[in-house]
Amino acid sequence: MRARIAVLPEEVEITAIRAQGAGGQNVNKVANAVHLRFDIVASSLPDAIRERLLALGDQRISKDGVVIIKAQEFRSLGKNRAEALRRLEDLIASVAAVPKKRRPGRPTRSAVARRLEDKTRRASVKSGRGKVTVE
């Protein structure tokens, strides 16, 4: 289970916009899509999480360190707002867990033996491709 970090509502800027795509007349007259902006640098997130978020190569994070999420799945503004907040929380939760340090392993003795055996077999195949000299 991922650790949940609470985001303060005053740090999130939510704007209602018109949705794109199909939807008939309703799409042209109702602003049901949500544009969420969250400034990582100015947020109250812990420093470690803030640094990992900024280092994350996510397309939703701008060069200025602002998370921009657009939610337009539902026809209801409330559902789209909840979906945008859920996506933001998921993004933060993905970097909340401290990544495990990678410790390189060592190949087994049989793996080393197999590799060397394959090398000698390959070398003999390749040496057989040279010019044939008759003595």
Q: What is the pLDDT of residues 86-123, one digit of tens each?
A: 999 999 888 888 878 999 999 999 999 999 999 999 99
pLDDT band at 1 (very low <50, low <70, confident <90, very high): very low
CA 121 and chain centroid, separation: 43
| Sequence spans of domains, the chain | 9-96
- Of all helices (H) and strands (E), which one includes residue 55? helix 47-55
Beta bridge partners of 37: 13, 68
d(Cα 2, Cα 47) in Å, to the nearest integer?
18
Q: What is the pLDDT of residues 10-36, one digit of tens each?
A: 888 898 888 887 767 766 777 888 999
The fold adopted by the segment(s) 9-96 is: Double Stranded RNA Binding Domain (3.30.160)
The C-alpha angle 56, 96, 57, rounded to 5 degrees, equals 5
Enter the pTM of the model: 0.68
